[in-house]
């Protein structure tokens, strides 16, 4: 199993550009999430999904779109990048296994918006 994979690993954008951060998991997990991590802020939830076709907003959804057409994939779209979106983005997948929910994280995408 590859687990959770994210592409690209690094990206530099200019203000106003759009891009899609890719996330895929091969563990057949129902739940997937996108977080951003900034210094001193921990992990902040952007959007999450409890299954194909179902998404919901987290704490900081503005400026980001998601869709979940398959169980495996959960792309995150930046519509018009802003410098405030410079961050490290983590995708995670999880399941409820009866002993609480365990999230498995990808390696992250480091995004710089100029």
Partner 1 sequence: TQLLEQSPQFLSIQEGENLTVYCNSSSVFSSLQWYRQEPGEGPVLLVTVVTGGEVKKLKRLTFQFGDARKDSSLHITAAQPGDTGLYLCAGAKGSTLGRLYFGRGTQLTVWP
Per CB under 8 A, residues contacting partner 1 are 4, 30-33, 35, 40-45, 48-50, 56, 58, 90, 92, 94, 96, 99-108
CB of 74 to partner 1, least distance (A): 11
In terms of phi and psi (left: phi > 0; alpha: psi -120 to 50; beta: otherwise), the region of 84 is alpha
- Neighbouring CB atoms inside 10 A of 49's CB total 20
Distances (CA, A) of 30 to 16, 69, 88, 105: 33, 12, 24, 14
CB of 85 to partner 1, least distance (A): 19
CB of 15 to partner 1, least distance (A): 26
Please say which residue, 17 or 43, places its beta carbon nearer to partner 1: 43
């Amino acid at each position: 199993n590859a687990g959770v994979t994210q592409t690209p690993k690094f990206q530099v954008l200019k203000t106003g550009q759009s891009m899609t951060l890719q996330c895929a998991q091969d563990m057949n997990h129902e739940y997937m999430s996108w977080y951003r991590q900034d210094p001193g802020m921990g992990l902040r939830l952007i959007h999450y999904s409890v299954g194909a076709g179902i998404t919901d907003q987290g704490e900081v959804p503005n400026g980001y779109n998601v869709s979940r057409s398959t169980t495996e994939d959960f792309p995150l779209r930046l519509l018009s990048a802003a410098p405030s979106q410079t961050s490290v983005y983590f995708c995670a997948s999880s399941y409820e296994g009866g002993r609480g929910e365990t999230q498995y994280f990808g390696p992250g995408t480091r995004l710089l918006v100029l």
